[in-house]
């Protein structure tokens, strides 16, 4: 007589691992991770400042040589191991070799980025309220500048908006991968595109909008200096959410029949498309009203309100713009938040609820340092940087490029061509041997060299 007793389950076997349910979901969620606030203000400005269409060409080449190979690598490793960033490297690396440190760097990077990025999203939420109330309806940059200073200078407001962001993201994460992240991003990305198109149409129909379009798209090869090329190279790396554990984690939720190289290419092109739409939404209006197209937070929080205030029904379009900015940021922070949650769940067997709550509490504590950097802690600095800028510098200039560099070394030199071919061809189901050989050459030789240049440039060792 057979026993009815079931074998005892280990913590990691308590529940079947969740995952993305559709191919479209994979692309939208991955693109949601890549698209963020940088698409809304940083990329369009850089395109115009560094040669328009000429910069776009260099950026595309840089993406093909750096960003795309690393993204494919991370997706491939994650799907193969079906685990978080740290456990993935532990599973796939030769025994006793500490390649798991790459994953640890990614988890740390994701957390550090969230510590300051959650505060920036909080500012956007504050601006949605301000836009809705009409308090930003002014063409005077001194007034909008004072409004921004008021937001970042208020310690309680800075903390509260950050906590709202953390709670909102935690609720989505708690629902799981398919019912939480995938379901949310499937709604958010179409909404983002619709709102972008609305603002684009309004901006492009303004009299004299052609000057802003020319700023973005007219090729000016005289601006392609060494600094411009380095900017394009760095942007191609940082914009695709690589080197921070997100793409390994998301890759672990991929279906086994997903065509990883094709999916990653679609994500790269979609990310570029959103960036260019954002440029068309902003810069025609910026030039029509004679506003200086500055980069950075000043463009998003000081310049943009004055631009929208200058146009008919500008308050409505300003509100739409800040809502779409919040939507763009949500997809990015969801992917960041999932990195430590997946690690705590996979590695330590925590329930998703406990892992999410632990991450949220830790983020609220560490993130408060960034939130209070411009007010209560404004006099505190480390290496001449406040906590906000320190988190930004350490993640962007050290953790991300180091993570990307060693991912390339591991895939190209340790894992090897045979395992790469097996993974990217879906065990022979896909006839893509040519793509695999090109990828192997890039990830083994070209990408690590260029990422090393990015790393040394970010650290100030190489100056161009």
pLDDT tens digits along 353-374: 999 999 999 999 999 999 999 9
Q: Is residue 35 pLDDT above 70, yes or no?
A: yes
Whole-number Cα distances in Å, 277 to 192, 207, 216, 287, 327: 11, 19, 11, 16, 15
pLDDT score of 312:
86
* Of 49 and 429, the one with more pLDDT: 429
Torsion of the alpha carbons at 300, 305, 308 and 312, rounded to the nearest 10: 170
pLDDT band at 282 (very low <50, low <70, confident <90, very high): confident
pLDDT score of 14:
46
Between CA 242 and CA 450 the distance in angstroms is 14
Structure tokens at 187: 């709604």
Range among 212-226, 230-244, 423-437 rated most confident: 423-437
User: Using one digit for the tens of pLDDT, what is the confidence trace for 125-155?
Assistant: 999 999 999 999 888 888 988 999 999 999 9
Q: Is residue 3 pLDDT above 50, yes or no?
A: no
Between CA 316 and CA 322 the distance in angstroms is 10
Between CA 236 and CA 245 the distance in angstroms is 17
CB contact at 8 A, 223 and 59: no
Whole-number Cα distances in Å, 210 to 288, 350, 426: 9, 55, 47
Q: Is residue 12 pLDDT above 70, yes or no?
A: no
Secondary structure (3-state) at 438: helix
Q: Mean pLDDT, the chain, as a whole number? A: 92
Q: Is residue 233 pLDDT above 80, yes or no?
A: yes
Least confident of 107-121, 302-316, 337-351, 416-430: 302-316
Between CA 402 and CA 409 the distance in angstroms is 11
pLDDT score of 98:
96
Whole-number Cα distances in Å, 251 to 81, 189, 216, 342: 9, 19, 34, 12
Of 280, 238, 204, the closest CA to residue 52 belongs to 280
DSSP 385: B
Of 400, 405, 412, 406, the closest CA to residue 442 belongs to 412
Between CA 453 and CA 401 the distance in angstroms is 9
pLDDT score of 357:
98
Of 93, 32, 14, the closest CA to residue 327 belongs to 32
Q: Is residue 5 pLDDT above 50, yes or no?
A: no
Least confident of 122-126, 165-169, 207-211, 422-426: 207-211
Q: Which long-range contacts (CB under 8 A, 24 or more apart) does 221-225 make?
A: 221/51, 221/54, 222/51, 223/49, 223/50, 223/51, 223/54, 223/55, 224/50, 224/51, 224/54, 224/55, 224/58, 225/50, 225/464
Q: Which fold has domain 33-458?
A: Amino acid/polyamine transporter I (1.20.1740)
pLDDT score of 15:
53
Q: Is residue 171 pLDDT above 80, yes or no?
A: yes
Mean pLDDT across 169-193 = 96
pLDDT score of 293:
65
DSSP 16: P
Domain ranges of the chain: 33-458
Residue that is written with structure tokens 């698209």 in the block: 35
Q: Is residue 40 pLDDT above 90, yes or no?
A: no
pLDDT score of 202:
92
CB contact at 8 A, 280 and 249: no
| Alpha helices, H only, 289-377 | 297-298, 304-310, 314-348, 352-371
Between CA 272 and CA 266 the distance in angstroms is 10
pLDDT score of 49:
83
pLDDT band at 296 (very low <50, low <70, confident <90, very high): low
User: Using one digit for the tens of pLDDT, what is the confidence trace for 304-314?
Assistant: 898 898 888 88
Q: Is residue 341 pLDDT above 50, yes or no?
A: yes
User: Using one digit for the tens of pLDDT, what is the confidence trace for 55-113?
Assistant: 999 999 999 999 999 999 999 999 999 999 999 999 999 988 999 999 999 999 999 99
pLDDT band at 1 (very low <50, low <70, confident <90, very high): very low
């Amino acid at each position: 007589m057979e026993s009815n007793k079931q074998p005892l389950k280990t913590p990691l076997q308590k529940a079947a691992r969740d995952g993305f349910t559709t191919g479209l979901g994979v692309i939208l969620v991955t693109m949601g991770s890549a698209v963020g606030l940088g698409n809304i203000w940083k990329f369009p400005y850089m395109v115009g400042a560094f040669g328009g269409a000429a910069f776009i060409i260099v950026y595309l080449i840089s993406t093909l040589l750096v960003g795309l190979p690393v993204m494919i690598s991370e997706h491939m490793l994650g799907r193969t191991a079906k685990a978080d960033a740290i456990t993935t490297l532990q599973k796939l690396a030769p025994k006793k070799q500490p390649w798991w440190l790459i994953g640890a760097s990614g988890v740390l990077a994701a957390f550090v980025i969230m510590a300051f990025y959650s505060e920036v999203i909080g500012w956007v939420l504050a601006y949605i309220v301000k836009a809705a109330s009409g308090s930003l309806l002014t063409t005077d940059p001194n007034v909008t500048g004072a409004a921004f200073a008021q937001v970042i200078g208020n310690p309680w407001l800075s903390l509260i908006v950050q906590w709202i962001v953390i709670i909102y993201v935690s609720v989505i994460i708690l629902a799981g991968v398919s019912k939480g992240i995938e379901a949310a991003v499937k709604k958010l990305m179409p909404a983002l595109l619709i709102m972008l198109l609305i603002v684009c149409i309004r901006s492009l129909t303004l009299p004299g909008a052609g000057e802003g379009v020319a700023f973005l798209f007219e090729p000016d090869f005289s601006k392609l200096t060494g600094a411009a090329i380095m900017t394009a190279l760095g942007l191609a790396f940082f914009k695709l959410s690589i080197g921070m554990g997100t793409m390994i984690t998301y890759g672990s939720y991929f279906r086994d029949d997903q065509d990883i190289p094709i999916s990653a290419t679609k994500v790269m092109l979609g990310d570029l498309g959103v960036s260019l739409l954002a440029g068309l939404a902003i810069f025609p209006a910026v030039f029509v009203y004679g506003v200086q197209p500055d980069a950075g937070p000043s463009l998003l929080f000081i310049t943009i309100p004055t631009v929208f205030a200058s146009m008919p029904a500008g308050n409505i379009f300003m509100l739409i713009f800040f809502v779409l900015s919040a939507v763009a940021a949500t997809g990015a922070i969801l992917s960041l938040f999932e990195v430590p949650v997946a690690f705590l769940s996979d590695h330590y067997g925590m329930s998703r609820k406990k892992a999410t709550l632990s991450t949220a509490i830790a983020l609220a504590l560490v993130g408060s340092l960034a939130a209070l950097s411009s007010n209560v802690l404004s006099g505190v600095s480390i290496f001449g940087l406040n906590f906000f800028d320190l988190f930004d510098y350490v993640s962007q200039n050290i953790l991300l490029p180091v993570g990307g560099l060693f991912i390339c070394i591991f895939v190209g030199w340790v894992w090897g061509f045979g395992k790469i071919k097996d993974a990217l061809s879906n065990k022979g189901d896909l006839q893509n041997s040519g793509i695999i050989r090109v990828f192997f050459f890039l990830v083994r030789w070209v990408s690590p060299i260029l990422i090393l240049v990015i790393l040394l440039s970010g650290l100030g060792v190489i100056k161009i």
